[in-house]
Structure 1
């Protein structure tokens, strides 16, 4: 990698933090960054939608969250900023989290199409006021958007200044060379592994079938989802599904750091019209962006394990349990992350509970958190055991509404022979000395004296002795 390319890559690394992307004015991806698999495609799709309908000037900022325009969850806001005459910066920032499952996208929250909120150095107070007046808009939303626009304006100027100080000339030739080197490096990493083909069937609790035929050849990956069923209650947009597909192979083969137009060209995704990976408005998307995403990640990892037996992995608990506690004037959404799968050479990592302050929750809501711990399980068995799930137990002190959603994948797909499944998610209610298992998705007003326990899934294990053919 020559000096100019190294400098360009370093500048991108410093600038693109969190879930973000930098694109040319024509929509070509210079770089994608983020931990969320949904970012690898939806960010560029957001920029493409904005470019299609709006003419942005340098410094302008467009806000959106619509999944059908390139967004993901309705509580995650995507800001599209023109940092210069030639470059578009896309940044996704979460706002108030909640369990948003509904019968249509309009039931799940305030849906914002690409909307100019900052133009010619001025915030569009009229548009923000209209958003704030919507009954599903979070409180103090307009103030939050104002703060973010200020942050992005400052960050954009700093990036341009950093490029100028470095002396780097962002020419078309430099960008093309960056894409070419990235593509060749990624293609070589794919080619260095065994060629092959594998089929995986994955069934969600809600009845949707995910059928994947994955093939690697000539330094490229082809994912064919022909045979995947239509959606019943789980739906995912086309760009979100493509995002997860790319993130899965980029992470597996080790080139996620070089996610750009060059490496994106190495993946071909085939999805039949009408399947749940090709949702059409106004289908709801919250379950698809959570449970559907987890099923898609697991199916791809499982297919790659069949093709590459020297890097076998079981199934990780990719989808956390979402637990939303609500009173008349406030709500809080907690997440219980599951365990990771054991892999050749290491055991899986345990899950965790994402909660800022136990004391604050107990002050704000009529609950006592009687237990927050690792799940009483060893995870999937094997030489390299899966990580344990996390556990959260509430004692209800006064009538309280709780909404929850687990990963919807209690039906277990066939694993490679040396792997085992971990424990599935579990939600239980203890009332008057009786213990009852609750459904994977629910909304209920619990009574004083109830104990409600949420346990996230454990990761699968690997390293069992190979069983002979029957």
Structure 2
């Protein structure tokens, strides 16, 4: 490839990133559900004709790393023409878990016969059917988790495929909300299409393709340069998920990271991880790939382009049939939210051996998924609430961890109290920091949160959480963070400890209190200057 002017490349990089960010802003502004509008549980990205990601918004890491596989699955399965939009959520066809629905829009330039780019938007829908309201419960096979959408066309030549939409909406608890959120995703993809066409009009297709290719190559060069700075050798780590909600057996995730500084490459091998399990914490391969992408991306400067080139120097080995690369019909709802966090914890634990001055202690390590559903007495219709509750960030080698923040594979927000009480039959009794839950050390881990919600209607309450048995680890002598817990508070004042993975039917006047883990400490206490 001929030389590209660095200034021109930097301007192009900013242009592509701003398009992905604008897509996300459009999605957020026009969405219906609090989970997308308030919590920002969505991600947007742009891809070139070869389905290589060339720009990502600053959105959800667990979405973004896996999204290229969704785009590829859509392109392989469906012949898309101008005006078409593909939809999918199948975890075994490039997806992650069923609530994450991805739309892929092909962008054609100048009447071309093949797409020159793709715009993609993924959003977590608060319900996609299944056994549990909110579609995030302890199921034991994927058929129990909700409607499974292989790559199909949602729009054909600019017209909605009403049969596909009707089939989808007939299988969810909140069809109006789902239709509104899908419309917001469509709008986001249209924004991406319009903006990339404006860039092509300004520079010409050939120039844009050249710059896109160079941007991918630039990411690869940055990643290889970073890997060349790592010490040669193999670094081994392990950690455990508490259980799968079916049995009490812990689930091992093991990793070996082998750095080859001469080649500027790394091999990440998950051999030795537990076999896939009956419960819903299984991770499909895109999740594992996404966690690897996230951890390695964190090594680069903040302004480094997050493109496909980041992973070119990386080999990921995830044995088929294990917890990190499951096969059908395994349930996977928690793989996206719980197993992904533990994979990240394990990768960082191994990386801390190679670069101890750069890696924080374990953060809270669970998204503490809470779903509540029932009939809203204000409307007489069904409601489905979903939220991941933040926790404590792990202490850093040079600073305390942050209190009550979403870390690692999630990059969302908590639903504001006002929005939550407006949208659902709830009353928030308590919302604040869980004092003292961060691990002690030279630098202390961040504190978790306490959130207590009173139910104003009979409801199904479901938890899908972890770090109840294995606490977030400290590093360099720092202490562990506090473990998480959840309590069902009945109207008579009695309390029942909720399992990390389970579902109960609560009555009006009952409440649920979630206490999230704190982050691990870094360094021995008393050594702080």
TM-score w.r.t. length of structure 2: 0.81
Map of 1:229 onto structure 2? 274
1:421 paired residue among 480, 492, 497: 480
SS of the aligned residue for 1:16 comes to helix
Q: Aligned partners of 2:463 and 2:474: how far apart in 1?
A: 28
Q: Aligned partners of 1:39 and 1:124: how far apart in 2?
A: 26
Q: Aligned partners of 1:359 and 1:86: how far apart in 2?
A: 40
1:393 paired residue among 452, 455, 468: 452
Deviations 1:90-125 (A, max 9, x none): 221233252523122121112111111122222222
**Aligned counterparts, 1:256-267, within 5 A:** 257-267=304-314
Deviations 1:244-281 (A, max 9, x none): 11111111343684222322112111112221111112
Q: Aligned partners of 1:359 and 1:213: how far apart in 2?
A: 44
Q: For residue 239 of structure 1, report the CA deviation from its aligned partner.
A: 1.6
Aligned residues: 466
Aligned partners of 1:417 and 1:466 also within 8 Å: no
Q: For residue 410 of structure 1, report the CA deviation from its aligned partner.
A: 2.5
SS of the aligned residue for 2:207 comes to coil
SS of the aligned residue for 2:328 comes to coil
Deviations 1:53-111 (A, max 9, x none): 21112332111111111122322221111112311222212332525231221211121
Aligned partners of 2:222 and 2:300 also within 8 Å: no
Map of 1:87 onto structure 2? 117
**Aligned counterparts, 1:183-194, within 5 A:** 183-194=220-231
Over 3 Å counting, the alpha-carbon distance change for 1:357 and 1:4 in structure 2 is: same
SS of the aligned residue for 1:8 comes to helix
What residue ranges of structure 2 are gaps of 5+ in the alignment? 25-42, 109-114, 128-133, 244-249, 376-381, 406-412
Map of 1:339 onto structure 2? 392
Q: Tell me which moved more, 347-356 or 198-207.
A: 347-356
Aligned partners of 2:122 and 2:185 also within 8 Å: no
1:298 paired to 2:357: no
What residue ranges of structure 1 are gaps of 5+ in the alignment? none
1:13 paired to 2:49: no
Q: Aligned partners of 1:370 and 1:463: how far apart in 2?
A: 36
Over 3 Å counting, the alpha-carbon distance change for 1:422 and 1:149 in structure 2 is: same
Map of 1:115 onto structure 2? 152
**Aligned counterparts, 1:338-377, within 5 A:** 338-351=391-404, 354-358=414-418, 361=421, 364-365=424-425, 367-377=426-436
Deviations 1:25-76 (A, max 9, x none): 2323333444323234421111111121211123321111111111223222
Over 3 Å counting, the alpha-carbon distance change for 1:184 and 1:372 in structure 2 is: same
TM-score w.r.t. length of structure 1: 0.90
Aligned partners of 1:290 and 1:407 also within 8 Å: no
Map of 1:61 onto structure 2? 85
Over 3 Å counting, the alpha-carbon distance change for 1:306 and 1:363 in structure 2 is: closer
Deviations 1:170-216 (A, max 9, x none): 36544443333221122212323444432112121112211111122
Q: Aligned partners of 1:47 and 1:312: how far apart in 2?
A: 32
2:465 paired residue among 406, 409, 429: 406
Q: Aligned partners of 2:290 and 2:359: how far apart in 1?
A: 23
Aligned partners of 1:420 and 1:460 also within 8 Å: yes
Q: For residue 286 of structure 1, report the CA deviation from its aligned partner.
A: 0.7
Q: Aligned partners of 1:437 and 1:339: how far apart in 2?
A: 21
Q: Aligned partners of 1:435 and 1:340: how far apart in 2?
A: 28
Q: For residue 223 of structure 1, report the CA deviation from its aligned partner.
A: 0.9
Deviations 1:266-323 (A, max 9, x none): 2111112221111112211111111101100111111111221222421001422122
Q: Tell me which moved more, 248-257 or 230-239.
A: 248-257
Q: Aligned partners of 1:426 and 1:396: how far apart in 2?
A: 19
**Aligned counterparts, 1:273-352, within 5 A:** 273-328=320-375, 329-351=382-404
Q: For residue 424 of structure 1, report the CA deviation from its aligned partner.
A: 0.9
Aligned Cα root-mean-square deviation (Å)? 2.7
